[in-house]
Amino acid sequence: MTILCPIDFSEPSRGALRYAAIAAVYSGESLTLLTVNDPLLEQAAAMANGRGSLEADARRELERFFNDTFSGRPPAAQVEFAVATGKPDVEILRTATERKVQLIVMSSRGATGIRKLFLGSVTERVLRATTVPVLVTPPAEAGPATRDDIRKAVRRILGPVDLTIPGSIEQTVEGARQIGVILGAQILLVHVIEPVRAMVPGHTFAANVDNERRDQAEQRLQAFVETLPDDPRIEPLVVFGEPAEEVAKIATDRQAGLVVMGLHASAVPGARMGSVTYRVLSVTHGLVLALPPSSSG
């Protein structure tokens, strides 16, 4: 079992690597670094320098990038370096399957210019097809240097749940609790209700419906929380608004260092990432652990 961290040699992927290394230390898993070569570049390099030359160069560059990231003091985890050729998202997912990866760690953005390998679109395609959790790291953050850094950064975990989707709450809580126990972090479990809009102005129907929906949601969420162990502490919260905007706002206001949410199945064939999850990933500036339906166990 291993943790997979795709690398495009950009600063955002350096930050993702630091998070991946800390995750590997905490979990006791090995760490696999993967870079993907463009097929056309590989063909050109083969004609100029011989077959396998680009792969060898990429592997050396990958090892150098790793050592530079940790200033010659690598984390206490077994590290492997892998080089593939093809489309980045396809190779990431293939490697994850072949190596029985437990977690993929990658930035929400990647390199630009000549090294334009991993973009936001690649991260999106990985999220739409992944069968293992993906930790999406913010592009502007350097990442933690030590285990204490991650403990300080993640004192509270935000777990958005959709009470209308079977299994959503159990999946999110399971993922959030595992991390909360390890880091000693509290969990804020939030359900966002989109208000009903009355078709006839001046009628109180919508307000009455909203109040009833909120009462039912609060009772259901509280009842579920009461069935859970006391450690870590879990606080239920029900709010009104547009789900993605409210999740991002709560994460900022309540200083949640990590958002844990499900990649709920979509009605669109082949698409697994829910629209709310996509918007949260687009607007939030923090860590997001995305859980595919199959990871709920």
Residue whose token pair is 């240097």: 145
The helix (run of H) or strand (run of E) holding residue 98 is: helix 88-98
Q: Quick one: angle between helices 275-283 and 243-253, nearest 10?
A: 40
| Alpha carbon distance 155, 12 (integer Å) | 23
Asked if the domains 2-137 and 154-296 are classified in one and the same CATH topology, the answer is yes
Fold of 154-296: Rossmann fold (3.40.50)
Confidence at residue 132, expressed as pLDDT on a 0 to 100 scale: 94
Establish whether the linkage from the previous residue to 232 is cis, with ω within 30° of 0: yes
Distance of CA 1 to the CA centre of its chain: 19
**pTM for the model:** 0.86
Quick one: tokens of 13? 């992927």
Q: What number of other Cβ atoms are within 10 A of residue 124's Cβ?
A: 17
Q: Are 16 and 106 in contact (CB under 8 A)?
A: yes
100 phi and psi angles, rounded to 5 deg: 55, 50
In whole angstroms, what separates CA 99 from the centre of its chain? 19
What does the block give as tokens for 92? 């990431």
Name the token pair of 75: 């984390």
Euclidean distance between CA atoms 119 and 272, whole angstroms:
19
126-148 as b/e: b if 16+ CB within 10 A: bbbbbebbbbbbbbebebbeeee
| Per-residue confidence (pLDDT) for residue 2, from 0 to 100 | 92
Residue 140's φ and ψ, nearest 5 degrees, are -90, 0
Asked if 19 contacts 137 with a C-beta cutoff of 8 angstroms, the reply is: yes
pLDDT, one tens digit for every residue, the chain (297 residues)? 799 999 999 999 999 999 999 999 888 899 999 999 887 666 665 666 666 667 788 899 999 999 999 986 777 789 999 999 999 999 999 999 999 999 999 998 754 433 333 436 788 889 989 999 999 998 888 899 888 899 999 999 999 998 887 777 898 999 999 999 999 999 999 999 987 765 455 555 556 777 888 999 999 999 999 999 988 999 999 999 988 899 999 999 999 999 999 886 544 444 445 667 778 887 777 899 999 875 544
The pairing of strands 101-107 and 2-6 is parallel
Query: Residue 157: how many CA atoms within 13 Å on its side-chain side?
Result: 27
Taking the domains of the chain in order of start, what are their residue ranges? 2-137, 154-296
Q: How many CB atoms lie within 10 A of CB 167?
A: 12
What's the pLDDT score for residue 201? Answer: 59
- Look at the domain 2-137 and name its fold: Rossmann fold (3.40.50)
Asked if 142 and 18 touch (Cβ cutoff 8 Å), the reply is: yes
Instruction: Give dist(CA 20, CA 36) in Å, integer.
Output: 18
The span from the CA of 221 to the CA of 193, in Å, is 13
Q: Work out the number of other CB atoms within 10 angstroms of the CB of residue 173.
A: 21
